Structure 1
Amino acid sequence: MFVPSIDLVDASQASLYSSLSFFGSVILKNGQVDQIKSLINQTGSTLYWAYAKSVDEAVQLWDVGVLKVIFDLDVYQQAQQELAGMVSEDRIAVTTGSPVAVQGVSTVIVVTSDVDAVKTFAADNAGLLAHGGEKTFVVALEESSVSIDAIATLGADHVDVLVPASLLTTATDDTSKLNIAEAFLATAKTDRPDGLYTTMVVDEFNKALGLVYSSKQSVAESIRLGQGVYQSRGRGLWHKGLTSGATQTLKRIDYDCDGDALRFVVEQHGAGFCHLNTRTCFGADSGITALEKTLKERKNNAPEGSYTARLFGDAKLLRAKIMEEAEELCDATDKEEVAWEAADLIYFALTKCVSAGVSLADIEKNLNKKARKVTRRAGNAKPKWEEKSATPAAPTPAAAPAAVDTGRIEMMKFDLTSISKQKRDELLLRPIIDSTEIIKRVTPIMQEVRKGGDAAIRNFTRQFDRVELEQHTITAPFDPAQMELDPATKAAIDQAYDNIYKFHDAQLDKETLVVETMPGVVCSRFSRPIERVGLYVPGGTAVLPSTTLMLGIPAKVAGCRDIVIATPPRSDGSVVPEVLYVAHKVGASHVVKAGGAQAVAAMAYGTETVPKVDKIFGPGNQYVTAAKMVAQNDTSCLVAIDMPAGPSEVLVIADMSSNPAYVAADLLSQAEHGADSQVVLLAVDLTEEHLKKIEDEVHDQAMALPRCDIIRKSIPHSFSLSMKTLEEAMEFSNDYAPEHLILHLEDAPGAVCKVENAGSVFVGQYSPESFGDYASGTNHTLPTYGYSRMYSGVNTNGFVKHITSQECTAEGMDRLADTVMRLAEIEGLDAHRNAVAVRVKDLRK
């Protein structure tokens, strides 16, 4: 088998991080503990091996999630006794310059060109480990000797080959390097005449989904795309879910102990793996994964009166049940009773997890990380629980505060000169958004609102927002007492309102366009407001007057007759006063206290108290976006939407004139939106020193921000891309088509003419994205996910429709008649021709 090795100081190898994370034995070289921790968080893999120079460093590596630590032989021999009582042998490897028998380790890595000596050594020292599995032997050859044949030949003698990532590629047409799939399959076996490999597909919990077949081509595509791709015996290459939407995200790929069966570990999306619409090809799901699926369905579409729905809607009840069942489990004694009470506790605990958006996969990731740790806590219970214990316990000190993650926050780094065209294309892609499952959840909610009206909205608000409302729609004029603001807040909103109004008022077509296309033929175009518009303002606990301004002002400028605003209520059932104040200023007729799909449905279909609208605007989470798409595609609904939407994103272009602190601040201002935010830095001819200053500022500023935990998730999957010229940067930016484009350039205004695709552009070091978000005047509801290639951000023209008219005199009729009659004859539309002919006959008597 091949054992890939990543040199973490070589930025050119970063493009392979995600592809190599699919494998079980990946060696990390020259990495600091914080950097390795960041990589583990980024890829989710806890199967890495890493080098340590001391026991202390090894402990740090094990604690952050490294599976196996590699010591130089002399370091290991000095620490052997200490390590023996600390970890099992399967967590330790040694590296040596010549074959040497070593006790207490699971792997020996030999750096040598003497292949025969390693083969003999492996044969003489083979054996099983105390905790299962076998000892492994890895040879590190000179790079010129590493080949597919060498991996296959040595694999037959139970010797693995260390392969530097610098020699690997995911490209199938790059003959200068080894394709990762071919290196992986070099030691796999198949006895099938067609050369296909039997492949078991399992989920993250190793539950079998189905049996398929793989080829070198399909494995290469899986690794390249990070998805489930297989080889159909009848149809060729099979991209799982390409037509059904039941796609798979690849998590891991390996093969069994004999090398004659592959295993794909995947995250299954959509209805399931099987064409019979079940999660597995072996029938319906069962056990804890089935319970998770049921709870997720109940959360979004629980039957009326369902106990589970009540749990989701009543946090206090759920908390009480968890504590009650935990106590009953503690008191249980016989086997059946313990099993019964444990099942109850798992049910309520998983309900809590699903309510918080936590999946079983998330839990298992944390279990894997905890299992890798070697340092241990004292394990004492907190004092309040010790006091409740039937057995008196010795007093213990108060629990220490939770450790704060201080690991370095950094983006991935690439250089345009050292990456392939294929990798450049990959960097332009956004994460795949599989909306199939979300639409399945959203559609029943919308149908229920369409059928049940106001009562359905109140029910869903009780279920999802945990707020009991007697009246969910308030109409203008709004109660002044509910709009009271402090003077500073009111002044800020008023100034933002004035700037945004001024800019959007200038966009309105106030004059009729009139063109005489030929003598006697006059064409015109004029605008009319869309009569009824719905504005979705995310909220609840958040305060978002800015979104209300950005949507409400262009609606007011356009002259829309009915402006309906939907926003989730606060815990006390009220609307955020800042939002209500803006609703009053823009002349909204209704404010609906509802969020999510039910709010979109209320505006799309109308209810007893919510007017049906003609077009819906506004950002929101994936459920709001899916609901807008469902409404738009429902022809019986007759509603339009502003644009599709994905996660927030920013692309910053910076040259040597840029201020590192400003650049970092702009990157972070978008990274804090969510874990899936997209953040890109294009470094134009920056020195390593200047780029490092930006990287340092990203970490330092992030650590001081309240939403640092979110940034820790979004920044590691973001990237910087270095290049030599501004032309290269602008070309990449236009291909990427970002939502926000920020120009930190010496001649930033001069670069604007080169922008072809972007939602909004921020020119120069004193134009932060925050200005556009709040008060400069431009709109902050912008196309994401690359949609700025074909969509504009929200603007006044989105709230109007344009109507054309034409007026012809007798002269115009005479001049144009023959042309129109001839074209109608060609198309065989005689009634069209006749409508002209009866008129021109009278004119030409």
Structure 2
Amino acid sequence: MTFPVLPYVSSPLDVDEFAVTGKALLPFESFKIEKHALNGYPHSLEVNIDVTQSKVSVDDIVALLNVGVSKVFATEAQFAEASEAGLPSSRFAIEYASGSNTVFSKASVVVTEKLSDEQFKQVSDNENKPVYFRNTVTQQQAEELAGAGYVLVLPSTELSKSESSSKICIGDVFVSTLTTDRPDGLYTTLITTPAPAHTALGVVYLSKASIKAAIVSNEGVYQSRKRPEELWYKGKTSGATQKLVKLERDCDSDLIKFVVEPRTGYGFCHLSNHFTCFQDGDLLESKDTFGSGMSRLDNTLADRVTNAPAGLYTKRLFDDDKLLVAKMKEELDELIEAGEKKDKDEVAWEAADLLYFAMAYCVKNGVRLADVERNLDIKSLKVTRRKGDAKPQYTEQQAPASQLKPYQMEVIEASAANSDDIERALTRPVQKTADIMKLVLPIIKQVQQYGDDALIELTAKFDGVSLSSPVLNAPFPPELMEISDDMKAAIDLSMSNIEKFHRAQLPTEEVMTVETAPGVFCSRFAKPIENVGLYVPGGTAVLPSTAMMLGVPAQVAGCKNIVIASPPARATGKLTPEVVYVAHKLGASSIVMAGGAQAVTAMAYGTKSVVKCDKILGPGNQFVTAAKMYVQNDTQALCSIDMPAGPSEVLVIADENADADFVASDLLSQAEHGIDSQVILIGVKLSQEKLQSFEDAVRRQAEVLPRKEIVAKCLAHSYTLLVNTYDEAFDLSNQYAPEHLILQIDDAESYVPSKIENAGSVFVGALSPESCGDYSSGTNHTLPTYGYARQYSGVNTATFQKFITSQNVTEEGLKSIGKAVMTLAAVEGLEAHRNAVQVRMDKLELH
């Protein structure tokens, strides 16, 4: 039987608080119907949706059931309409009035008052279906109803995990339903793991006190039989702690099941060789993982992602995408071949191989077996089915999907195109932020909880580098910044130019003061942000330019504490020496040797070794961006960021006189960043010959680039827009709001700034490639992407400053504005505000 309380939760953000019950009921308006809707909820949670107060169609209900909602709570009228459409009644809970003759077949019922024993027996189908009670209750009434077999539907705001005078304690409600025939009054309890293994770990005994303590602490808490006066907090001394996922009772209410997640690397048994109490020997060797079959494979692969020794085949698969994909295709072919031979043993053998490579692919992409099973369970709940035919490309030979040649961008004539085509060209590739956030949140929580230890563990996992400390403090060892003289000269020149440009942005006067009215002096002055965290991507890349672009403005602004975060190189286990050299020149206080969401989290919240930063800046992948967006919205972090970030992009406006090689090189310099980057070419009054020369130059240059495969994929979703006038070109550019805008047109200077409304940075004329701004011209290359140039500026000196205002009101000033202040305060009903002026004017006799 389930937990006797069904929490009614107003927002999906709040389901975790009472997830130990194993279920939740949400209002229809709070639930977003989409393909992967339930993937954002705990795997163990049964999600139910209440539509009784909503205007919904049968199609809405079908959509809810198809995405995996367990039950829909509906009115009789809504249920009748759904039944006529052939929807299964077992997936509904229906409002029921005492005395009603309505027969709900397999549907559950929801009542607002206690039924007679005969009525309860009837509507519960002899206790084969839950009966939900939905009304206001006291603690005593809740316990009595639960003891009588009802599942209480109560707002989560009226529930508590611990005893409360004003809320319903769910622990006491659960305990009130239990029975035991043991002389000591304890309850026999089976401990299991959650999906996918559902492994029975062993048997323990619980008291009422331990049950309530487990619910409060969300961990395994049991009753010690040797010391009846003590509760046994599992792993308190051994470290073998358990997270309580949910608890249930059996049909007789005399056996409890605790579903727990054991701490990684620890078993349940007091004998350290065994994962369970059934002498399985799963932990005999330190490298061993527990379980059997698919579950053991899943655990082993998850361990290998972090700990696979060099030379291991699994590690080779994780490091080589092409090999892993090729092996999946190979094993699928061999499975099909075995099936065609009707060889049962060979089919089983080849299926095992295919499952191994498929699970390796899943784990490499952050998907565990429990996630796969969750999706299978969701699909089993669908109430409509597709025809199920294979896609055409798998049943017959098809013509190529695209008629575009390699390295060719789709051409759209803007004057002849409809608005949909223009919108399609100016729309960036979709970023799946929800999916990314699911992967990022556990990392954020891990760093928040374990600090430096988490950074060390995650750096080993993601970067393959073992560290003793996650932070390198200044002064930095000279041997870590050994670079060539040419590189030093290039960095020195670039930093000098960047400093000149950013120093010129400082306010010309220390305090700006304006007398807004006689005797009223308003001032503004700038102060540097004290602690700033600068994220510099690393790993396989060498990016000293990012350290310069972020660090020099911070230095110019006067930031007291500059912290740089950059992951060590996998190949050497060390920081990029160019980045260390730049950090040294900037006077940075420390370098956090970590990347990704973990580095952002450490700087936002601080750890034992990492200084908490007031602002975090810098580009990064989707994980870095997701972490930055999260921490800036968390009031516990009290941390701002520079801007949202997306894939790099460029828009080039070119006319008939533009050099084709120059145009092609500018497009390709952005296309090589990644497959999710985008490049746009707007051609003004181009002849067909000129357009062809651009396309030929792009193809010729792309074919010799080391990242040509990435370039080809980027160009496949990039566009050339043809317009007749320069005004049309700038209108489209301002709609797109590009990160980089390059003007390869006649008299380019004359269009700046009058025609530019939205752009991160503008590169004027044929001899101003975007690369110059990336490194050495002096402007900043940390710029708004994804259309955010409409609202955000690129990084500049003011990015590292805060502007404080002050006012000095004299007696003359109070006389000038006092009456206006009091009038406005009075109309807003803020009497204390009005009085603050009144008492001063009275004392000064200003009437």
Task: Give the shorter-chain TM-score range.
Answer: 0.5 to 0.7
Whether the 8 Å contact between 1:654 and 1:744 is mirrored in structure 2 is: yes
Q: Give the Cα separation in 2 of the matches to 1:795 and 1:621.
A: 21
Whether the 8 Å contact between 1:442 and 1:623 is mirrored in structure 2 is: yes
Q: 2:478 aligns with which of 480, 491, 499?
A: 480
Counterpart of 1:415?
A: 413
Q: Give the Cα separation in 1 of the matches to 2:439 and 2:423.
A: 33
% identity of equivalent residues: 49
More deviation, 492-501/460-469: 460-469
Shift of 1:489: 0.6
Partner SS state of residue 603, structure 1: helix
Counterpart of 1:660?
A: 660
- Name the aligned partner's letter for residue 425 of structure 1: E
Q: 1:312 aligns with which of 302, 305, 308?
A: 305
Shift of 1:487: 0.5
Do structure 1's residue 786 and structure 2's residue 794 form an aligned pair? no
Counterpart of 2:288?
A: none
Shift of 1:318: 8.0
Do structure 1's residue 701 and structure 2's residue 701 form an aligned pair? yes
Q: Give the Cα separation in 2 of the matches to 1:725 and 1:484.
A: 52
1:458/1:628 CA distance change after superposition, 3 Å = same
Q: Give the Cα separation in 1 of the matches to 2:57 and 2:765.
A: 54
Partner SS state of residue 613, structure 2: coil
Counterpart mapping for 1:769-784 below 5 A: 769-784=770-785
Count of paired positions: 530
Whether the 8 Å contact between 1:322 and 1:349 is mirrored in structure 2 is: no
Counterpart of 1:75?
A: none
- Name the aligned partner's letter for residue 523 of structure 1: C
Counterpart of 2:458?
A: 460
Q: Give the Cα separation in 2 of the matches to 1:355 and 1:236.
A: 34
Partner SS state of residue 644, structure 1: coil
Shift of 1:637: 1.2
Shift of 1:417: 1.8
Q: Give the Cα separation in 1 of the matches to 2:432 and 2:626.
A: 11
1:304/1:603 CA distance change after superposition, 3 Å = farther
Shift of 1:685: 0.1
Cα-to-partner distance string for 1:234-285 (whole Å, 9 max, x where unaligned): 669999999x9xxxxxxxxxxxxxxxxxxxxxxxxxxxxxxxxxxxxxxx99
Whether the 8 Å contact between 1:318 and 1:348 is mirrored in structure 2 is: no
Counterpart of 1:427?
A: 425
Counterpart of 1:515?
A: 514
Counterpart of 2:529?
A: 530
Whether the 8 Å contact between 1:664 and 1:694 is mirrored in structure 2 is: yes
Q: Give the Cα separation in 1 of the matches to 2:792 and 2:65.
A: 30
Shift of 1:422: 2.7
Counterpart mapping for 1:480-629 below 5 A: 480-511=478-509, 512-571=511-570, 572-629=572-629
Q: Give the Cα separation in 2 of the matches to 1:737 and 1:533.
A: 28
Counterpart of 1:651?
A: 651
Counterpart of 2:812?
A: 811
1:236/1:501 CA distance change after superposition, 3 Å = farther
1:541/1:432 CA distance change after superposition, 3 Å = closer
Whether the 8 Å contact between 1:310 and 1:463 is mirrored in structure 2 is: no
1:748/1:356 CA distance change after superposition, 3 Å = farther
- Name the aligned partner's letter for residue 547 of structure 2: T
Whether the 8 Å contact between 2:301 and 2:360 is mirrored in structure 1 is: no
Shift of 1:765: 0.1
Whether the 8 Å contact between 1:412 and 1:719 is mirrored in structure 2 is: yes
Q: Give the Cα separation in 2 of the matches to 1:785 and 1:665.
A: 22
Cα-to-partner distance string for 1:545-566 (whole Å, 9 max, x where unaligned): 0001011111111111111111
Partner SS state of residue 772, structure 1: helix
Whether the 8 Å contact between 1:408 and 1:699 is mirrored in structure 2 is: yes
The runs of at least 4 aligned residues of structure 1 exceeding 4 Å deviation read: 200-203, 231-242, 284-287, 301-306, 315-318, 321-326, 332-341, 354-361, 367-374
Whether the 8 Å contact between 2:425 and 2:718 is mirrored in structure 1 is: no
Counterpart of 1:345?
A: 353
Shift of 1:303: 4.8
Q: Give the Cα separation in 2 of the matches to 1:460 and 1:767.
A: 41
Whether the 8 Å contact between 2:652 and 2:680 is mirrored in structure 1 is: yes
Partner SS state of residue 754, structure 1: coil
- Name the aligned partner's letter for residue 530 of structure 1: I
Q: CA RMSD in A?
A: 3.8
Counterpart of 1:686?
A: 686
Cα-to-partner distance string for 1:805-841 (whole Å, 9 max, x where unaligned): 0011111112221111111111111111111111111
Unaligned runs of 5+ in 1: 1-199, 204-230, 245-283, 288-300, 362-366, 375-405
TM-score by length of 1: 0.58
Q: Give the Cα separation in 2 of the matches to 1:536 and 1:233.
A: 50
Q: Give the Cα separation in 2 of the matches to 1:470 and 1:602.
A: 16
Partner SS state of residue 413, structure 1: strand
Q: Give the Cα separation in 2 of the matches to 1:308 and 1:589.
A: 39
Q: Give the Cα separation in 1 of the matches to 2:778 and 2:360.
A: 43
Partner SS state of residue 813, structure 2: helix
1:761/1:303 CA distance change after superposition, 3 Å = farther
- Name the aligned partner's letter for residue 526 of structure 1: F
- Name the aligned partner's letter for residue 729 of structure 2: A
Shift of 1:352: 4.5
More deviation, 685-694/513-522: 513-522
Whether the 8 Å contact between 2:305 and 2:315 is mirrored in structure 1 is: no
Shift of 1:731: 0.5
Shift of 1:691: 0.6
Whether the 8 Å contact between 2:304 and 2:314 is mirrored in structure 1 is: no
Cα-to-partner distance string for 1:285-344 (whole Å, 9 max, x where unaligned): 999xxxxxxxxxxxxx99567533321124546843589999xx99x9996764565455
- Name the aligned partner's letter for residue 643 of structure 2: M
Cα-to-partner distance string for 1:519-550 (whole Å, 9 max, x where unaligned): 11100000111111111111112100000101
Q: Give the Cα separation in 2 of the matches to 1:432 and 1:354.
A: 22
Counterpart of 1:52?
A: none
1:546/1:240 CA distance change after superposition, 3 Å = farther
1:303/1:427 CA distance change after superposition, 3 Å = farther
Shift of 1:480: 0.9
Counterpart mapping for 1:817-828 below 5 A: 817-828=818-829
Counterpart of 1:756?
A: 757
- Name the aligned partner's letter for residue 624 of structure 1: V
Cα-to-partner distance string for 1:389-413 (whole Å, 9 max, x where unaligned): xxxxxxxxxxxxxxxxx96310001
Partner SS state of residue 806, structure 2: strand
Counterpart of 1:159?
A: none
Partner SS state of residue 472, structure 2: strand
Q: Give the Cα separation in 1 of the matches to 2:589 and 2:629.
A: 25
Whether the 8 Å contact between 2:407 and 2:699 is mirrored in structure 1 is: yes
Q: Give the Cα separation in 1 of the matches to 2:709 and 2:549.
A: 28
Shift of 1:632: 1.1
Whether the 8 Å contact between 2:308 and 2:314 is mirrored in structure 1 is: no
Counterpart mapping for 1:350-369 below 5 A: 350-354=358-362
Counterpart mapping for 1:62-211 below 5 A: none
Whether the 8 Å contact between 1:495 and 1:775 is mirrored in structure 2 is: yes
1:474/1:825 CA distance change after superposition, 3 Å = same
Partner SS state of residue 429, structure 1: coil
Whether the 8 Å contact between 1:311 and 1:317 is mirrored in structure 2 is: no
1:201/1:446 CA distance change after superposition, 3 Å = closer
Whether the 8 Å contact between 1:655 and 1:683 is mirrored in structure 2 is: yes
